[in-house]
Structures are given as structure tokens and as C-alpha cells.
Structure 1
């Protein structure tokens, strides 16, 4: 059941933001990389957020956009008279209106975002109406939405293609990287299309480049997630009654009866206190208890098996539960992506390990189709878009089935059991060497999700 501390957590989330972060870039400096090493990319022209500039210099919001998007305190926000939500200013807005709200530290980041926007799925574009601004900068990590600005910040690690672009992206670790170190299980996840990996992971340090096609699914997944946060706070029904004399946090909070995630928890709550408590360790940096240190993948998975979250990260906050559900639906609908997840044994050496050490205690393929998950996911989609025959048909006929993984087999054996990798039949990704395969495995480890 949901206890008093969950209400406290909800109130904190409404004030400090979502996406797993407060919107502040991580502390620290760039690690030094030797200039004479031809196998690595040397950081070049790393710019902090104070170097942001308006991507469209002729934007009607150019004089105020940076000041409004870079506040430190909620009360310092610009009123909605100065910088309104996109849909307030233009109820029938275009992609050009979205680009007018974009701030970047490098031109290529804006150009890449514009190209991605032009190729974006049709259902994504209306979601941008619940934003005031979009920030992309060298040191943004992790990506986030913040009620203080009503805007999103995006990590450019998702956007680079060339070595020159990669050099402009910070390699400082996400501040959450060491959370949950004392737990004895790992949370693994893989996005799959017809059983094959939908995303290839790349190193920020190697000189390997990638194509525009390589970034489509990871970027659209990220955007759906952050835009779900924006719609959670500002669904369509809330727009007409916004008080434009207020800053975003005050205006949104005044309409808090429209917030979606609290309504989800009233109608279709999650129940596992074990997973709520663990998530505070894994994703908020909470202190681990002796009991939690001894929890096995099987026990943690048995909690997930009888509850309706899409993934472990959904127990972080109510906001993340809603966003992960929504994202999974849209990635399935737009790209036929299935979500595989498992809890596995943590290897003895966390920096050097093989898949054979990652024994599955509990896992499932196509988690969205689980009978406990699908109704909650449909609730979220209907609340964001309204009921529609197209989504009704999707949930009735296109979800497929959730398939349990085999306890005791390792993660890779479970993940790839239906695939035959031979010289003539490989993944559609170029995982032809041990380095790429290890990068893929590291990327599937859910240290933090967004």
C-alpha cells in the first residue's frame, strides 16, 4: 500500500522536477585524456550552460529565453506572460514554434534536433505544447524536465554523429552512477525489435562514429519520456485555466488537481513497498538497509511479478511510473519495440564481467503486455491523448504476449534464446567484436534510466 512517505515524495517531486534529476549538471571537471592517444577522442570546446544561445536568432522569445530557462530557484522563474507554454502562445503550433524555444551550446546540436523533429512520429509533436523551453548543452547530464522552468534539458550524448561532435560532449559521470552499490542485484533491460536489439550503444571516448539512423530510437524514446513529464504536469484540460501572471511552478501547482500521476495512483496504484524502498536507494541515493543488502534477484523479481510497473525505475517516483509506461506504449506503437527486463546476480567484479555471470532471478520479455501493466499503460495514454479507436485497437490487438524468462540462465541466453547468430544471420547491429558486445551489455545495465 502507499504510505505517508509516498505523499511526501510526491510533494517533493512537484517542486524539484522529474526525469531523475533536479536539472543541475553534475559537479566535477572533465577527466584528462592524453593527446597522443589516437584511439580516444580528446574533449574539445566543452561549454557550460552559461554559454547557451538561442538556436533561432529571430525567435520572438530570443531576448528572454536563456534567462528564463537557466534559473536556479523556482521563484526566480519568468512569468507565463513573459515566456508562455508553447500551446498557450500558439494553440495550433508548428515545428517552427518548437524551434523558437530551443537553446544550444553548439550549432550542430540545434541542427540535429531540428532534423530529428522533422522526422518525429506524428503523435510526438503535440506533446511539445506543454513546454516553455528546450535546452541542449555540452554539460547537461542527465536529461530532465523541471517544473521550475516548465522546460526540458537534453544530454547531447544522445545526438552526436561525428568524432568532432562527440568531442563537444562531457564525459563526466552521471551523479547517480554509484547509487545502490551495496545491493546484490542488477536491473537489466533491452529494447528489442523482432527479438533483436533496437539500440546500439557507443562509447563517448572511442573514435567510433554513428549514423543518423543509429540515434533515432534512443532519442525518440528519451523525448517521449521527458515530454510525458511535461504532459503529466500540464495535460490539455489544464491549459485554459493557467494564470499567466504566475511563474511556471506556481501556475502548474495552482492547477494541481489536473496532474495525471496522482490520479493514476488513485485509480491504479502500485503496491510493492519493497520496490518503493529499494528504488529510493537505487535512484535517489538513499541509505541501504541490511535487509536490502541481502535481497536476491529472485525475491526482487517476485515483487515486480505481482505489481503493475513497467520497470524498476517506475518505483522511483509517481512521475517516473507514468513516464515509463507512456514511453513503452509509444515506442511499441511507433517502432514495434518490445521491452525486455530482468533482475540478475551482480558480478564479483563490476568493471570487468561476462554475461555468463549475470544469472537471471526473474525476467520477462515484452513487459508492456503483462495483464497487470497494460491497463495502467492504457490509462496513461488515454489521459494524455484522450480515448481513441486507434489506441483501443492497439491495446486490444497489437500488444502481443509477455513471456517469462528462464530462472537460472544468464541474461544473454535469455535475451537471445530465439536468435541464431551465425556468419550469415546476425543482429542488424554491428556487434561483430568483443568491445561492441561489451558496450552493449554495459548499456543494458540500468544504473540509471534517464
Structure 2
């Protein structure tokens, strides 16, 4: 028999201190002034606690309406969720899209009124419970709108929400939109973007529920919605490597023989020292499973859908097995809502992927945190920017619609961005540990970092050899890269540079992108990424030097110099072909690097004085190559223009 009770502010508010730092040992994160405090709602929300015959209980909202985002929390009476595993399922009612099935909080949107049931299995810490909760859903009310997404977040981690737009075309912000705290601790919330409040979850000494309430007006009618966050109490941070809170993650394959190692070795605030190769070897050092099964055994995720989408991508969008082969040089693939930007890290041997490149459904995208990249303000003092994009048939291939427009996308639309990201990050992994040396690394109590240090000291990395054989020459570009990618303060001379000055520094050198000047590792990764995207998919990379106006957009920046497909440069004296061919031969020796690069299209020059957007249609004719990836809009639809992308914005430096 279930017992109902009311969960009040006093019963959920509990605060404690907690340490912090940087999620991957990088201490360059700027310290921002605290955002404004948000006021507490005059009327506080009262949640309902539903007891069961076991120690498992459910926390539900006071009421549920059709077409309204909602949540249910499962918890063990008198216990936090730390160390527990959750598995939700729907047992009755119209089928819903459930994307947080491994979390203590189940988030969803009811499709229609009626009765619904959900079961949850909770296990761990010597306990195991399975219970069901029944929910009655009322018909949709007038003037509804939604705030997304209800979620669990660890104390100290970043949190973001977003209010749905409304109106006939779902393109209007509710008028007089405002926010207040409806339950839980005091929060310092940034509401500079009124649609997207952000805050850092406060420290708590027990799992704590916080609720924000949004109110506004649509066509003169008041609208209201609440969004729930479960802030979870975590063990004190002891890791010198992950010294800032990281999201809870779990092995995608429950029966993976590396489950324990994944949980402790690659994304943990308790990682005290790098794990040994015996604990977590490179994929290429193990022979027990087939290719894809072996890969998926090493996937660690914050949400189940991330692993599912990654697995589907490998099944459907890797016809030449490039990614399956390149992944042999990593120990693990980590995909989590709080990773931004993506990176490879030799300390763990893993790649860390921002799920922005993996979502297919709007409900999946809803859970991805929108905290800004800490480097977003770097280089603001400079008088130029260097944008980039991938194009095919004179159209963008990136498909990432604005967050305020909730929409789904297909695997085909997702693939160009994920493919280029993987080519880049896996180039780093293969730079450190190419297939040619797997047999030289014993599976013992040494660490990959030990072997990396030895190889680096001996100058054996592919990127080291490229820089010796074919060095980049522009001291000015190297110094500017310190400003744009490391946050160094620009000198007066650097601030005075015009785009034409940068054109002189960059265009005659042998880099394919500005980011190549950040480190020799990034130089190698950029060469490989651009070459493989052109070779495999006929997708060419645009790079340009433009001015740097306030609120820069594709239409407002003016090109001083730019090229499409710089990787195919064939002009006398250019060392780009030799550099790229060398990298390809070392990373994928089955390919003939010189032949591959020689067959790539020659670069197309952009028109000076035109905008970046106007330079989109510079290819003389449509591509005739087989189209394995194409995200261009179909005939009769309005072309989608993605946000402006700036060199280096999707990768953390190696």
C-alpha cells in the first residue's frame, strides 16, 4: 500500500561545501563574476512522495497535464543515489520518448491525457528494488508552454534549461518571461539570455531537489511551467586529473568486461593516478571480440541514447571501416552531456566527445548542457577572425539548427559533423599510438603515459616528425595562436594587425588552418581531418581570414582571403601535399598518401571583399563524386545557415 505525503522546502534543502577545479587538469578557465541571484517564488511548490512496500519511494509533481514536460524521481528512503544504478521502463499508457532511463530522475512529455505507469529497478550498495508508479494525466490546458529539461546533475556541475518558444511557428518568446526559485536551495543564476537560464549546482550534503518556475504571457494569457533538477551529493574530489565535478557516467554495455575499469579510469573525480595498460589496454591490443563489439565494450556515457547513436553511426556511416580502425588506438570513448569541447587525452588514452554531434531527436538534444566553452572570449581583442565550414555542392553540410527551434535530424544529417570530429580526435590518438607500435607496448603495469613520455622525448610521434620534416614558418601566426587558443593577452602590435596582415602571414605558409599553429599535434590532426573528409565524402573545408566586427555573423564578416579545399593545394613550392601525404601514410598505412592527396580537387579561391556567406557558392559546378554523406537541404526548402564557426572551436588542444 502506498502512502502519500508532501515534500516541502525544509525537507529538501541541505547544503555543504565541496571542492572544485578543472575537469581535465586545464587551469586556464577564466573566473567570471558571480551572476545575479534569482528571487524565490512567492508560492513554493509542494511535491508528492509516494511510498511503496519497500524502501523505494517516488517523488512526483503535484499534477500532470498532457503535452507538458514532466518528471518523476525515484529514491531510497534515507539514502542518496550515489552508488546506485537505475533502470526505468514504461509499463502502461501511450508510448513516450524516454531519454533518461538510467537516471534517478525520469524526464518525459506526456502525449495525451490518461493513465500511465512506470517501473524502475534500483540496485547497488547491497540493495535491489523494483517498484511501479501510476500517474494520472489531465487534458492539456490552454496557454501551455514547456521548460526543458528535468535532469540530474552532480553538485558543482553546470546546469542549463531552455524555455520553449511559442506561437504559430514556434518562433516567439513568451512576453514578460521571468524566473523564480520554486523549491530548493538559493541559486546564483545567469539569466542574461532570458530563454536559457544557467547556473552552477550548489554543494549539497544530501540529494536535493531544486525547481525553477518560468512565467510569461502568450497572446495576453498567462503561461507557467516548472523544471526540476536533482542535485546529487557526491564523494569529495580527490583526483588531480579530474579536479572539477564531472557528470555521472556508466558503461554503455552492462556486461562489458571492462566496466569497472571504464568507471574508475577515464572519467572519475577519484582517479588518483593513470590506470595501467593491464587495466585498460588500447583496443588494438585486445583480440577477444569482433571489431564493433570490442569498440562498444569501451563506451562510457552519461545517457544511454549517446551509446545507441554512436553504435548506429558505426553500423551505417563507416562503410570503409576508417573509424573502426582508427578507434583501435584508444582505450575508451567517453560521451557525456558536460563535455565541451571534445578532446583526446593521452593520460587516459580515451577520446571525449561532445554529444552535440550525436543527437538525433529533440529530446536527446534537450539534455545536453549549454554552458559556454571557456575559450569563447579568447582573441576578442584581435582585428581578425578565421572562420571555417564544411561544404558540398555549394551548400553547408553541417546540420545543427538553433536550440530554440526544437527539431529532429537524421543520421545522414548528423554524420558530417561527427565524421570530421572523429577524424580529428582519432588522429591525435593515432599520433601518440599508431597501429605500427601496438606490438611494442606490453600489457603490464606500465601506463600509456609512460610510453607516451618516452616516445615524445625521442621525437617519435607523427606530429614531431612532420614538424621536423615540414615545419610551419610564421612566427607571427604562432604568437597569435597563443592569444586565440591559450588566452594570452594580445600585444598592441597584434591588436593593430589588419586582416590583410594575417593574409600575408598565413597564405604562403603550409598550414591548412589557423588552429594548426596552436600545437604540432593540432597541425597533424587538421591535415588528416580535412584530407579524409575530402577523400571519403567529397566534402571540402572552407577557411578564410575576415574582419572581426561586433556580433559577427556569416553575412556581416568580410573576406580578405580564403580558400575552399586548401588541403588539395598543388601550387609550386607548397609543402601542404607532402605534409598531408606523410600524415596519412603514418596513420592509415593501407592508403597511398601521395596518390590520395594528388587526386583531391584543387583549392578554389574566395572573392575578396565579399561576405563569408556570399562566398558559399564559389564552386563552379556541382560535385560528381559518389555522395555517401549529404546534409544539403532538399529542393524547395530554405537553405539552413549554421552558426558561424571559428577556427579551433570544437577541440581542446593536444
Q: What TM-score does the superposition give when structure 2 sets the normalisation length?
A: 0.59
Counterpart for residue 156 of structure 1: 355
Aligned pairs (5 A) from 1:317-396: 317-347=519-549, 349-350=550-551, 353=553, 355=555, 357-371=556-570, 372=574, 373-386=576-589, 388-389=591-592, 391-396=593-598
Cα displacement (A) at 1:73 = 9.3
Cα displacement (A) at 1:354 = 6.2
- Contact 2:349 / 2:448 at 8 angstroms: preserved in 1? yes
Aligned pairs (5 A) from 1:279-298: 279-298=481-500
> Gapped runs of 5+ residues in structure 1?
1-14, 421-426
Give the 3 Å change call, closer, same or farther, for CA 260–447 of structure 1 in structure 2.
closer
Match of 2:352, SS? strand
CA RMSD of aligned residues (A): 3.0
Cα displacement (A) at 1:123 = 2.2
Cα displacement (A) at 1:359 = 1.4
Aligned pairs (5 A) from 1:25-424: 29-34=158-163, 49-71=246-268, 76-90=273-287, 94-119=291-316, 120=318, 121-243=320-442, 244-256=444-456, 257=458, 258-347=460-549, 349-350=550-551, 353=553, 355=555, 357-371=556-570, 372=574, 373-386=576-589, 388-389=591-592, 391-396=593-598, 398-418=599-619
Match of 1:30, SS? strand
Give the 3 Å change call, closer, same or farther, for CA 432–296 of structure 1 in structure 2.
farther
Q: Aligned equivalents of 2:481 and 2:619: distance in 1?
A: 31
Q: Aligned equivalents of 2:440 and 2:161: distance in 1?
A: 51
Which whole-Å deviations, capped at 9, do the CAs of 1:118-173 have from their partners, x for residues lacking one? Answer: 12242221111111111111111111100110001101111111121111100111
Give the 3 Å change call, closer, same or farther, for CA 193–284 of structure 1 in structure 2.
same
Match of 2:413, SS? helix
- Contact 1:87 / 1:93 at 8 angstroms: preserved in 2? no
Give the 3 Å change call, closer, same or farther, for CA 288–28 of structure 1 in structure 2.
farther
Match of 1:230, SS? helix
Q: Aligned equivalents of 2:288 and 2:519: distance in 1?
A: 30
Q: Give the aligned length.
A: 416
Residue 428, structure 1, aligned to residue 557, structure 2 = no
Q: Aligned equivalents of 2:561 and 2:483: distance in 1?
A: 20
Tell me which structure has the larger Cα radius of gyration. Answer: 2
Q: Aligned equivalents of 1:231 and 1:195: distance in 2?
A: 32
Q: Aligned equivalents of 2:619 and 2:279: distance in 1?
A: 55
Give the 3 Å change call, closer, same or farther, for CA 63–387 of structure 1 in structure 2.
closer
Greater RCO, CA 8 A, separation 6+: 1
- Contact 1:368 / 1:402 at 8 angstroms: preserved in 2? yes
Question: Which segment drifts farther, 247-256 or 333-342?
Answer: 247-256
Residue 443, structure 1, aligned to residue 644, structure 2 = yes
Give the 3 Å change call, closer, same or farther, for CA 428–378 of structure 1 in structure 2.
same
Q: Aligned equivalents of 2:249 and 2:157: distance in 1?
A: 19
Match of 1:254, SS? helix
- Contact 1:75 / 1:247 at 8 angstroms: preserved in 2? no
Counterpart for residue 423 of structure 1: none
Cα displacement (A) at 1:74 = 8.5
Give the 3 Å change call, closer, same or farther, for CA 87–428 of structure 1 in structure 2.
closer
- Contact 2:382 / 2:497 at 8 angstroms: preserved in 1? yes
- Contact 1:74 / 1:148 at 8 angstroms: preserved in 2? no
- Contact 2:515 / 2:522 at 8 angstroms: preserved in 1? yes
Give the 3 Å change call, closer, same or farther, for CA 171–44 of structure 1 in structure 2.
farther
Match of 2:431, SS? helix
- Contact 1:54 / 1:103 at 8 angstroms: preserved in 2? yes
Cα displacement (A) at 1:241 = 2.1
Cα displacement (A) at 1:55 = 0.5
More strand by share: 2
Give the 3 Å change call, closer, same or farther, for CA 354–106 of structure 1 in structure 2.
closer
Give the 3 Å change call, closer, same or farther, for CA 282–73 of structure 1 in structure 2.
farther
Q: Aligned equivalents of 1:45 and 1:129: distance in 2?
A: 38
- Contact 2:301 / 2:336 at 8 angstroms: preserved in 1? yes
More helix by share: 1
Match of 1:113, SS? helix
- Contact 2:584 / 2:591 at 8 angstroms: preserved in 1? no
Cα displacement (A) at 1:419 = 7.6
- Contact 2:559 / 2:609 at 8 angstroms: preserved in 1? yes
Q: Aligned equivalents of 2:512 and 2:165: distance in 1?
A: 46
Give the 3 Å change call, closer, same or farther, for CA 45–334 of structure 1 in structure 2.
farther
Q: Aligned equivalents of 1:224 and 1:185: distance in 2?
A: 27
- Contact 1:46 / 1:170 at 8 angstroms: preserved in 2? no
Q: Aligned equivalents of 1:200 and 1:215: distance in 2?
A: 6
- Contact 2:247 / 2:337 at 8 angstroms: preserved in 1? no
Q: Aligned equivalents of 1:44 and 1:333: distance in 2?
A: 47
Q: Aligned equivalents of 1:278 and 1:32: distance in 2?
A: 35
